[in-house]
Amino acid sequence: MKSDPVIERIKTRVAGVDPNGPRKVLGIFQLNIKAADGVHNYIVDLKGLKVSDGVVDNPDVTLNVEDEEFFLIGTKQIAIPEAVSQGKIEIIGDKTLANALIEKLTE
C-alpha cells in the first residue's frame, strides 16, 4: 500500500508517547483504507497507546479513505478540510478529535 510509510510513522509516534505524560488527544480511531488489494483496517487506540490491524466496535472516530488520499494527507500534500470538502475522506464521529489526531500524527 502506498500509505504504508504513513501507517508505520503513526505506529512509531504512538509507541513513543509517554503513558504517564500529558496527552492532548485521547480516543479510539478506526481507520479504513481502501487500496488496490482491498480494504486495510487499523485501530489507533490513543487511550491504550497501541496501533493494531482490525476493526473495533464503537470507535470515537472512523476514517474512510482511499490509499492515495491517506498518503497525501499523511505527507501534508493535502489538508483535511480540503480532502473532506472534495469528498476524499469520510469522517464519522467527533470531527474535532479526528482533526486533532491527524494534526498530531503528521507534525
The model carries a pTM of 0.87
User: What cell numbers appear for 34 in the block?
Assistant: 481502501
Q: Residue 12: phi, psi to the nearest 5? A: -65, -45
The confidence score (pLDDT) of residue 107 equals 62
Q: Are 30 and 65 in contact (CB under 8 A)?
A: no
Q: How much is the mean pLDDT over the chain?
A: 89
pLDDT over 90 for what percent of the chain? Answer: 52
The confidence score (pLDDT) of residue 99 equals 76
Give dist(CA 92, CA 90) in Å, integer. Answer: 6
User: What cell numbers appear for 103 in the block?
Assistant: 494534526
Residue 62 or residue 25, greater confidence: 62
Residue 95 or residue 41, greater confidence: 41
What is the rounded average pLDDT of the residues 51-69? 95
Q: How many CB atoms lie within 10 A of CB 98?
A: 22
Topology of the domain covering 3-17+25-99: Nonspecific Lipid-transfer Protein; Chain A (3.30.1050)
